[in-house]
Structure 1
Amino acid sequence: MKTLKSIFSFYINSSIHVALAIAALVKLTFLKFEILGGNTYIYFSFVGAIVAYNFVKYANISKLYHRRLTKSMTGIKIITSVCALLFAYFGYQVSLDTWIYVFPFILLTILYAAPVFPNKKNLRSVSGIKIFIIGATWAGVTAFIPIIYAEGSFGIDMIIEIIQRFIFIVVIMLPFEIRDLQYDGKELETIPQKIGITRTKVFGSILLVIFLLLTAFKDDLYSTEIISTVAITIISLLFLWGTDKKQSEYFCSFWVESIPIMWLFILILMQSLLG
């Protein structure tokens, strides 16, 4: 039992789970727009997410990770190094145009973690923008770039999808902001710090209503799209209102980060049942 717990902890702490969530959202985009042949980009985004998240978490920047992780750091360094090599391998296979669109998000990730600004600041420490940087990065990597990767142009449905993806990521980040109240300095001015936990949940609920209503403005709207969007809205709402400052160890890092994976499975299920 102790061994299984150690394996699970390593799975979470090495960012494999969050990388799966990102890969799930990329696959979701391909399925929604019936884009074929995107597996290389899925692998590219998966290993890239592991490298990026481990860089952000373990570059002596975040206060959220404690001495208890030192025992597994060797394994995390190894898996990060292997993923960096795989990122280069899959990066060689994607087009130059894809790299052009990926580069700003790589730069944003570096600026998010590295103290390159005056007074040794990074983007994460800039008041009030952390959650929106993450939302923009995830929306870019999982919706904007996959569409460019396959289609090369945008229609109204694609623009709406990118906006929805940004809103969705911001909402599922709110439980993390609530959890991190005990760690984040007041200078960060996160949403829960500024308006409190209850109002943060209300704010997230309003965003979810907008997220859901935007679906109605799509030109090509299928029952699978409607049902899966309604389902994930309800699931996200339940997790948002189930969040508290004091929560179980893996509530956010496993369950909340599983919501994108749930969304993919729901869409696949709906497509298999309804065609």
Structure 2
Amino acid sequence: METLKSIFKFYVNSSIHVALAICALVQITFLKLGTTDRYAFLLFSFLGSIAAYNFVKYSKVSKLHHRKLTRSMKGIRVLTILCSVFFVYLAFKVPYDTLMYMLPFAALTVLYAVPVFPNKRNLRSVAGIKIFIIGLVWAGATVLVPVVYVNGTFDFDFLIEIIQRFLFVVVLMLPFEIRDLQFDAETLETIPQKIGVTRTKVFGSILVVTFLLLTAVKDTLSLIEILSTILVATITLLFLWGTERQQSKYYCSFWVESVPIMWLFIILILQRLFS
């Protein structure tokens, strides 16, 4: 049992779980574009996500609260190095235009952690913008970059999709902001710090409803997309309103981060049912 617990902790703390969540969102984009078998790009996204997230979480300049991981840090470092090496290798096989579109989001990730601004500040320490930076990076990496990779079109549906993805990720970040109230400095001016926990949940609910309603304005719409969007919006609301300041250790880092994976499985199940 202790071995299983150790494996699970490493799985979460090494960012494997969040990387799978990002890959799930990439695959959702591919499914909506009607393309499959893009496993090389999924692996590319998976490796890059682990490298990027561990860089942000465990770099010396990061002010996150992961200080109980000294025993597993060696393994996480080894995993991060290996993922970085294979990510660079696969980058040479990715089309040049895809890499160019990915570059701004990679730069934002670096600026999020590295203190390059005056007074040794990074983007994470700039008041009020933390989750919106994350939402922008995730939306770009899981919608814009995959669309470029498959030579998709930047049409009206693409615009709606990227807005929806941004809103979806921002809402998923709100439980983390509620959790981190006890860790975040007041200068961060996070949404729960500014308006309180209950109003944060109301704000998130408005974003979820907007995310849901935007589906109706798409030019191309299927029953599967309607049903999957309703279901994932409902799940997201349940996790948002179930968030408390004092929560179980893995409520956010496992369960909330599982929502994109749930979304992918919902779509796959609906495709089986209605195909």
Using structure 1 for the length normalisation, give the TM-score: 0.98
Partner of 1:107: 107
Find the aligned partners of 2:67 and 2:176 in 1 and give their Cα distance: 20
Give the drift of 1:137: 0.1
Residues 224 and 270, structure 1, Cα contact 8 Å, conserved in 2 = yes
Q: Which amino acid aligns with 1:30?
A: F
Find the aligned partners of 2:233 and 2:69 in 1 and give their Cα distance: 34
Partner of 2:124: 124
Partner SS state of residue 71, structure 1: coil
Deviations 1:88-118 (A, max 9, x none): 1211111000110011111110000001111
Give the drift of 1:153: 2.5
Partner of 2:248: 248
Q: Which amino acid aligns with 1:131?
A: I
Give the drift of 1:41: 1.6
Residues 181 and 245, structure 1, Cα contact 8 Å, conserved in 2 = yes
Find the aligned partners of 2:198 and 2:65 in 1 and give their Cα distance: 26
Partner of 2:91: 91
Deviations 1:33-82 (A, max 9, x none): 10234222211111000000000000123343343201101000000011
Give the drift of 1:32: 1.1
Partner of 2:216: 216
Deviations 1:93-147 (A, max 9, x none): 1100011001111111000000111111000000000000000000000011111
Partner SS state of residue 70, structure 2: helix
Find the aligned partners of 1:219 and 1:170 in 2 and give their Cα distance: 25
How many residues of Structure 1 are paired with residues of Structure 2 in the alignment?
Answer: 275
Partner of 1:53: 53
Deviations 1:174-208 (A, max 9, x none): 00000000000000000000000000000000000
Partner of 2:78: 78
Residues 33 and 152, structure 2, Cα contact 8 Å, conserved in 1 = no
Residues 63 and 183, structure 1, Cα contact 8 Å, conserved in 2 = no
Alignment of 1:126-275 (within 5 A): 126-275=126-275
Find the aligned partners of 2:174 and 2:41 in 1 and give their Cα distance: 28
Q: Which amino acid aligns with 1:32?
A: K
Find the aligned partners of 2:104 and 2:225 in 1 and give their Cα distance: 30
Extract unaligned runs of 5+ from structure 2: none
After superposition, the Cα gap between the structure-2 partners of 1:66 and 1:165, relative to the gap in structure 1 and judged at 3 Å, is closer
Using structure 2 for the length normalisation, give the TM-score: 0.98
Find the aligned partners of 2:126 and 2:202 in 1 and give their Cα distance: 24
Find the aligned partners of 1:86 and 1:60 in 2 and give their Cα distance: 23
Partner of 1:16: 16
Partner SS state of residue 67, structure 1: coil
Give the drift of 1:152: 4.3
Find the aligned partners of 2:81 and 2:231 in 1 and give their Cα distance: 37
Q: Which amino acid aligns with 2:98?
A: T
Q: Which amino acid aligns with 1:270?
A: L
After superposition, the Cα gap between the structure-2 partners of 1:97 and 1:239, relative to the gap in structure 1 and judged at 3 Å, is same
Find the aligned partners of 1:66 and 1:125 in 2 and give their Cα distance: 17
Residues 177 and 190, structure 2, Cα contact 8 Å, conserved in 1 = yes
Residues 178 and 244, structure 2, Cα contact 8 Å, conserved in 1 = yes
Partner of 2:4: 4
Q: Which amino acid aligns with 2:241?
A: W
Find the aligned partners of 2:64 and 2:105 in 1 and give their Cα distance: 23
Find the aligned partners of 1:44 and 1:128 in 2 and give their Cα distance: 31
Deviations 1:153-176 (A, max 9, x none): 311111111100000000000000
Q: Which amino acid aligns with 1:31?
A: L
Residues 65 and 183, structure 2, Cα contact 8 Å, conserved in 1 = no
Partner of 1:42: 42
Find the aligned partners of 1:246 and 1:83 in 2 and give their Cα distance: 33
